[in-house]
Amino acid sequence: MAGAETAWADLLEGVALERLVPGSGAQALAGREQAQALERAGVVEFARASSLAATPMTVLVNDSHRPTDSAGFLRALFLLLDAAGVTPGLRLLVAAGSHRADDEEKRAHEQSVLGPYADRFAEIAWHDAVDPAGLSPVGDYQLHSWMAEGGWYLACGSVEPHYFAGLTGAHKTLSVGVMSLKSLAANHEGAMSPDAAGLRLDGNPVYEGVAAAISALENSGARLLALNQVLLDGELVGVSAGHPLASLHELLPLMRSSFVQQLAAPVDLLVARVAPPLDRDLYQADKGIKNTEAAVSDGGLLLLEAACAGGTGIDHFVELMKACPDHASALATVRDRGYRLGDHKAVRLRALTDLRGVRLALVSAGVDPALEAALGMRIFVGREEAAAWARGLLPASSRGLLVEDAGNVTLEIKEPGDGA
């Protein structure tokens, strides 16, 4: 998405295009709030207990797929530990979930996160969801083998809406981020349920599966502590520390005011721009569709703009879409052969185009236009071609919406009786 490209408003002349930017009222924090939150949560005592037990404290951070300020978290942690003279044995676990990274990406991420603290960790590991040698059972789950040792675990996560898990956060870092592919797929199968929705926790089978994994860890003897962040455009605007689920819930009001926007009515055209790191491939950037699709009229247009330098990414959902040209056949295939990771993306895309008649387009130089038919969306290299296509389909006096950071922003249509 080159910054020199003509602005969408100019290209869509004639469309009443409103621009939506998340979190306009949120204020960046001063700088010591992460340390203060960790201190209130008792991180020094937590680390001291690990040291007295001669057990390493495992620190978990997200990989580069999430915008978490892991470097700031570590600075805050070591500020407190050094001031208290507490020196536990430490090891770092990068919670990569099913994501894959080459050596160069791993090295760059470690450098950006660890900074001057690399030597403070006796071991650094990246979770590998498909390596049986690095997995161990914890209750009904297979997790990274370090998680099965019943020790002390401190995780950092960032809280954003998630279209089927409800919310992201350190609770996912401690669970989904370190699950085997089989356990992860079992959890994500819940995304096929209508109860798996953005911002929904109660009754959401994906969130409840994550909460069950947290309980399984605690039942196995693990001591868990988490720091959760709310970040807007890289700036920390909220932080909470404590139990993984309690600290998540504490940030719900701020997260909602930062990332959730209500509209009075759907629009004819929606342009969803996905920012790094979620623009790395279509598998991740698809969140921009899921987060905003409620705001598009049935039969309307949704343009997803994302770099997708990694192409489609995990391509299981593409395979299903190639085999199943409509929603009914996609559902039938999943029912007959069983769920595979990514199936929910294909089924939901088919529902959007088949059941609601929404016309999709992807603006990206990273995805092969030959996939248009399989994906059920037009693929354009630049904005000019996409805008020309949209103008040719839009009725006169159309209303449009340009959503920045659509990978995190969630749109809702205001129901009658809702407050302002």
Q: 59: closest CA among 92, 87, 95?
A: 92
**pLDDT at site 419:** 54
Domain boundary among 195, 221, 256: 256
Q: Is residue 1 part of a domain?
A: no
**pLDDT at site 420:** 44
Q: 214: closest CA among 203, 223, 201, 204?
A: 223
Token output for 235: 């700036």
**pLDDT at site 200:** 92
| Domain region containing 75 | 33-256
Torsional sign, CA 14, 416, 202, 170: positive
Do residues 164 and 199 touch, judged by C-beta distance below 8 A? no
Which residues on adjacent β-strands are paired with residue 152?
A: 57, 223
Please state, for a pLDDT cut of 90, what percent of the chain lies above it.
88
CATH of the domain at 95: 3.40.50.11440
Q: Are residues 12 and 70 in the same domain?
A: no
Domain boundary among 209, 225, 256: 256
Q: Are residues 221 and 334 in the same domain?
A: no
Q: Is residue 27 part of a domain?
A: no
CATH of the domain at 376: 3.90.226.30
* Amino acid symbol at 109: H
Q: Are residues 178 and 92 in the same domain?
A: yes
Q: Are residues 164 and 40 in the same domain?
A: yes
**Residue 297: partners with Cβ closer than 8 Å, 6 or more residues away:** 266, 267, 268
- Where the chain has pLDDT below 70, the residues are 1-4, 23-25, 416-420
**pLDDT at site 30:** 75
The whole-angstrom separation of Cα 223 and Cα 263 is 42
Backbone phi, psi, residue 400, to 5°: -130, 165
Q: Is residue 160 part of a domain?
A: yes
Please state, for a pLDDT cut of 70, what percent of the chain lies above it.
97
Q: Is residue 86 part of a domain?
A: yes
Token output for 265: 């009515």
Q: What is the number of structural domains in the chain?
A: 2
Q: Is residue 59 part of a domain?
A: yes
Q: Are residues 347 and 229 in the same domain?
A: no
Q: Is residue 283 part of a domain?
A: yes
Q: Are residues 103 and 18 in the same domain?
A: no
Torsional sign, CA 59, 63, 65, 68: positive
**pLDDT at site 417:** 62
**pLDDT at site 21:** 83
Q: Are residues 310 and 352 in the same domain?
A: yes
Q: Are residues 287 and 389 in the same domain?
A: yes
**pLDDT at site 308:** 97
Q: Are residues 58 and 186 in the same domain?
A: yes
**Given the structure tokens 């209303």, which residue do they identify?**
399
Token output for 287: 């969140």
Q: Are residues 233 and 321 in the same domain?
A: no
State the burial class of residue 367 (Cβ atoms within 10 Å of its Cβ: 0-12, 13-18, 19+).
buried
Q: Is residue 199 part of a domain?
A: yes
Q: Are residues 199 and 61 in the same domain?
A: yes
Token output for 6: 């003509």
**pLDDT at site 282:** 96
Domain boundary among 236, 256, 276: 256
Q: Is residue 420 part of a domain?
A: no
**pLDDT at site 415:** 76
Q: Are residues 205 and 223 in the same domain?
A: yes
